[in-house]
Amino acid sequence: MSTIAANRPQYDGKVLDLTGRSGARAFRNLLATVLISLCFLIALIPLCWILWTVVSKGYHLVLDANWWSQSQRGITSRRAGGGAYHALVGSLIMALICAVIAVPLGILGAVYLIEYGKGGRGAKVVSFMVDILTGVPSIVAALFVYAVWVTILGQNRIGFAVSLSLVLLMMPVVLRSTEEMLKLVPDELREASYALGVPKWKTILKIVVPTAFGGIITGVMLGLARVIGETAPLLILVGYSKVINYNPFSGFMGALPTMINNDRGDMALPAAADRVWAAALTLILLVLALNLLARLIARFSTIKSK
C-alpha cells in the first residue's frame, strides 16, 4: 500500500486548459471560415445580378396602376400598354384550386404516417411514393395529366388540368413539412389526452394538429410558392389568353409564366421586352410575398425551438 501511495502522481494545483486550440487547428478553422464566406459571396453574385436586372428593367411598368387593373386584350407585341391583371388572376385561381386539393391530401397523409401507420408496411409504401413525387419534374407531371385528362378522358386543355398537375408537385411539399411538424408535437400531450379518455381521432383533431398549425400553414405557403411559377404545365395543359378568364373549367387562361413566354420571342421590340421584365418582376414579388407570409406565420407558431 505504501508503494502504491508513493508512486501516485502528486496534484500540483494547476488547472489544465482544455479550451485552447493548437496552431494547426486554428489555421484550419480560419481557412474553412474564409472558404465558406467566399462561397457565400460568390453565390450572391448571380442572385443580386438577376434581381437587379429584373427590377431595373421592369419596375416602371409595375409601378403603373394600369399594370394591376388591365389585361392585354387588343395589345400586340409592337404596341405598349395593357397590364398583367389577367395573368395574375389566372395564376392565383389555378394555384388556389391546387391548394384546395393538395393541402387536405398532404395533411391527411402526414397524419397517417405519424399517428396511425408509424413503422408499418403501408406507411413505408406511402413514404416511398412521396419521395418519388418529390423528385418528379414538372413536365413529367404535366404529361401524365395530359395523357389522362386529354388523351384518355377526351377533355379540353383548361386551367383545371393545370391545377391537377400542380397538385402532384405541391402535395409532397405539404406532406413532408406537416410530417416534420407533427413529429415536434410532444408525446406527453397525446398521452395526457388519452389518459382523460379522449379518442385518438379527437386528440389529433383538437390537440395535435392545432399545436402544429403554424408549421403546417408555413409548409402550405412554401408549397404554393413552389408551384406558382411553374411553366411546363401551363404550356402543355392550357393555352395562353390575353383576356381575363375567371372560369378555370372553360377556355384558355392567362398566367404570369405564359405571359413571359408569349412575349419572349419579341424581345427585340421595346414594348414586348418591357412586359417580359415587368411580368418576371411581378412573379418574383408574388413568390416573395408568399415566403414572407410563411416566415411570419412560422414566427408565431405554437412550437418554438429552444
Which residues have C-beta within 8 Å of that of residue 156, sequence separation ≥ 6?
150
User: What's residue 301's pLDDT?
Assistant: 61
Q: How many CB atoms lie within 10 A of CB 140?
A: 14
User: What's residue 233's pLDDT?
Assistant: 93
Q: How many C-alpha atoms does 25 have within 13 Å on its Cβ side?
A: 4
The grid coordinates of residue 47 equal 442572385
Q: Which long-range contacts (CB under 8 A, 24 or more apart) does 141-144 make?
A: 141/165, 141/166, 141/168, 141/169, 141/233, 142/232, 142/233, 142/235, 142/236, 142/237, 143/236, 144/168
Per-residue pLDDT of the chain (306 residues; tens, 9 = 90+): 455 555 555 555 555 455 555 678 888 899 999 999 999 999 999 999 999 999 999 899 999 888 998 888 888 878 788 889 999 999 999 999 999 999 999 999 999 999 888 778 888 888 898 888 888 899 999 999 999 999 999 999 999 999 999 999 999 999 999 999 999 888 898 889 888 888 988 999 888 988 888 888 888 988 888 899 899 999 999 989 899 999 999 889 999 999 999 888 888 888 888 999 999 999 999 988 888 887 787 777 655 544
pTM of the prediction? 0.81
User: What's residue 306's pLDDT?
Assistant: 44
User: What's residue 13's pLDDT?
Assistant: 54
The sign of the dihedral angle between the CA atoms of 98, 104, 105, 107 is positive
User: What's residue 3's pLDDT?
Assistant: 53
Q: How many CB atoms lie within 10 A of CB 6?
A: 7
The distance in angstroms from the start CA to the end CA of the chain is 52
User: What's residue 263's pLDDT?
Assistant: 86
**C-alpha–C-alpha distance, residues 290 and 281, integer Å:** 14
